Structure 1
């Protein structure tokens, strides 16, 4: 980093953007991902310089960043190109709830706000514990989380953990440990055998179509289909490993699990 704390930060994914706003350090942000939508004002306050797997390198360089924040191996080529240009890059790779909390702590320290970050993490930890305690002793519905539809991809670790905290039971917990989406591809037969009682879906970049899920061949007798318990969770709330998932994303899961089964139309 050319300066500490860094004064000009570019965030290539949305979770670091939201974290910096929550820390009160949004003035340090000089560029964001086109997917950044939280908080709402970010879209009018900050220039957009990237998608997810692509970025406008000249535009980023023109912003003279002290630090660029990236996420996962999917942005490795962007990070490498920026590093070759002499830019300081921090690549996060959080894939579970503890990793999200660690990212918040680390980013807080990097911008000179370790105490504020610790306070934020403590708030999240207490809320997670409270919700987990509320679910203790209650029936735990079987939940299938669908991250993509073609091919069908089940939920990553932080999603699986939030389902458990909310009072559900992920039907593919072993797959959740696979970081790459390719390791979480499931077949129609696997979902049928798992017999989920609730289906949660969040198709990144496109609207979930519950009727398409319900009309899949052989799915008629799946409890979630029979009882019409198919719920969309918007991708900015659950598919970014940051504050949104721990707050509004988790709330959406809790709401879906507490919704009573519908009586099928005769």
Structure 2
């Protein structure tokens, strides 16, 4: 039967896959997803789909019970769960992007899987166009030093795709993307802009607390009040959602050139430095 090879019941354990399917007009194929998918694609929480805990704790039996013909997840994933899913006869697609180029590839793969290659190419081209437009507007600007983190304990720099977006938005990305760093190392780099986008934290990063505990009060970013929380789904979801993160980065890095946008919270006060509240 024509089209019988195309998956019609997809379980998305990775929010980026849900965003991609929505962007190419194929959200109807999603029969199960995680609660984090609902943060980036509210339409999945309409009661017509099974909502799973998350990709790391979702029960395999619960996933298989939704009768998917394709499961999409981020890897590394639970090895036992992958084996059980494959033994059940369900196809498994693991995603592990690191760069913007990887993300474009993932969009192409998912689009091809659901016979929507042309729409996938349109989404990729639109992402590339919007990123290039902002890059063009920042090419002659002075580049402030930007520390961008995806986690606070341990302190971990944002992923490589965020580093690329920081550069496109006119900044100089500090640290090594995706790697741990010490508070002291970052203090010595003296960032001029600090962006916290902790995985799963939304916009709830305690900016004043982390500046005080890390002894960052004397960094240029803290002195100038340029410490920000950007909603984590805007920077940590490797999908078209990153365009909203790019707009946020463009504003916090070069506010004279770009308007404020949603998903940004700025520090309201910088705690005074004391030996008691600093962290070595």
Q: What is the TM-score normalised by the length of structure 2?
A: 0.85
Question: Residue 166 of structure 1: CA displacement?
Answer: 0.8
Question: Is the CA contact (8 Å cut-off) linking 1:144 and 1:154 kept in structure 2?
Answer: yes
- Gap change, CA 1:89 and 1:139, over 3 Å in 2: same
Give the drift of 1:62. Answer: 1.4
2:217 is the alignment partner of 1:220: yes
Query: In the alignment, does 2:253 pair up with 1:257?
Result: yes
Q: Secondary structure at the match of 1:73?
A: coil
Alignment partner, residue 68 of structure 1: 71
Q: Which residue is equivalent to 2:181?
A: 186
Change (3 A) 1:42 1:222: same
Match of 2:43 in 1: 41
**Contact 2:170–2:254 (8 Å) recurs in 1:** no
Residue 76 of structure 1: how far off its partner (Å): 4.2
Are the equivalent residues in 2 in contact too, given 1:198–1:230 (CA < 8 A)?
A: yes
Shift of 1:217: 4.7
Tell me which protein shows more helix as a share of its residues: 1
- In the alignment, the residues of structure 1 paired with residue 267 and residue 36 of structure 2 have an alpha-carbon distance, to the nearest angstrom, of 34
Report deviation, 1:160. 0.7
Cα deviation, residue 252, structure 1 = 1.0
- Show the counterpart of 1:231: 228
Q: 1:120 to 1:263 in 2, by over 3 A?
A: closer
- SS of alignment partner, residue 243 of structure 1: coil
Cα RMSD for the two superposed structures? 2.2
Q: Distance in 2 between matches of 1:249 and 1:263?
A: 21
* CA–CA separation in structure 1 for the residues paired with 2:72 and 2:25: 17
Q: Does the Cα contact within 8 Å between 1:227 and 1:264 map onto a contact in 2?
A: no
1:165 to 150, 165, 168: 168
5+ residue gaps, structure 1, are 179-183
Q: State the alpha-carbon separation in 2 of the partners of residues 50 and 166 from structure 1.
A: 34
Q: Distance in 2 between matches of 1:190 and 1:52?
A: 33
Helix, strand or coil at the partner of 2:32: strand
Residues 1-266 of structure 1 aligned to structure 2 (within 5 Å): 3-36=4-37, 37-44=39-46, 45-172=48-175, 175-176=176-177, 178=178, 184-206=179-201, 207-245=204-242, 247-259=243-255
Instruction: Work out the number of aligned pairs and report it.
Output: 256
Assess if the C-alpha contact under 8 Å between 1:8 and 1:67 holds in 2: yes
TM-score when normalising by structure 1: 0.90
Change (3 A) 1:224 1:92: same
Q: Secondary structure at the match of 1:41?
A: helix
